[in-house]
Structure 1
């Protein structure tokens, strides 16, 4: 399961990603991230951003494999002392479709 949302004209945020335990380690996460990145590119976004707990090493490696880089440290989620990283992936130049498409 994956969720993404367009936060503005230039940005898509990958909000959540979850892979069933039995499917982990089989490339499912890579395919899900690739699907959000492809959707963002088709939508004309310039970048995809996400937040991930810094100690979620499996997720951090997945996102790095998918072309994401750490850009900053986000404020901790209210009620949690676990810091999050903000990661970002730039997308190819914005595409525009003709008005009739």
Structure 2
């Protein structure tokens, strides 16, 4: 895999993770959020190690799809926390 493609895949994964991590303050206010908060440490750790991971297009597509699904599932709970602030991000 060439360096340019690797940088692109890394940037796409980074975008997904940062999008999710931006939700941390709002998720802390939700009752269901407490279960997710401990996973934020894992995501933050993963984010710092991205340059050490071999990525391929299929993996990135799966992560993008999972991120989009996660954001869709959070649409209603987050709208209750901050009605105008959270309209789920879309990828691509």
Q: Which has the higher strand share?
A: 1
* TM-score, reference length from structure 2: 0.32
* TM-score, reference length from structure 1: 0.30
- Between the two structures, name the one with larger relative contact order (CA 8 Å, sep ≥ 6): 2
Q: Which has the higher helix share?
A: 2
